[in-house]
Amino acid sequence: MKMVSLSGANYHFWKGKMKDLLFVKNMHLPIFGTQKLNSMCDEEWGFKHELVCGFIRHFVDESIYNLISHETHAGILWKTLESLYASKSGSNNLYLLKSFVELKYKDEAPFIEHLSEFQGRMYQL
């Protein structure tokens, strides 16, 4: 599966995929770590934050990019996106409804996988 671009309406889906991608790329510590590693100097830690911020900004729409382009701290960037798009109403409900309408059964897959796909999106909201 390819990484999607954050449009605002797909925040919860994007968040899950981005979190997975950050862990796979070993770029998760500036956001999900509790503190910098002892082996890292402050300059290297700051560079990691900038690297992660740039990586995240690569996967957001232009309208969102303008809101976060100045941020250099990965944790603050992550929380900013969360505060802007994690509401349980409005556009996220529209995204969930759209996901439900567009959900298609795959003949070769067990029915439980079909239900899990939608359920996963629903629980992300």
With CA atoms as reference, report the closest residue to 98 among 18, 13, 19, 16: 13
Distance CA 20, CA 59 (A): 13
Co-location of 32 and 51 in the same domain: yes
Distance CA 111, CA 83 (A): 35
* Cβ–Cβ < 8 Å for 34, 21: no
Token pair 């862990």 is at which residue? 23
Domain that holds residue 119: 91-124
- Asked if residue 4 belongs to a domain, the reply is no
Q: Please give the chain's pLDDT, 125 residues, in tens.
A: 589 999 878 888 899 999 999 999 999 999 998 788 888 898 999 999 999 999 999 999 998 998 899 999 999 999 999 988 886 545 556 666 676 677 676 677 776 776 666 555 554 44
The domain total for the chain is: 2
DSSP classification of residue 3:
P
- Asked if residue 64 belongs to a domain, the reply is yes
Co-location of 97 and 74 in the same domain: no
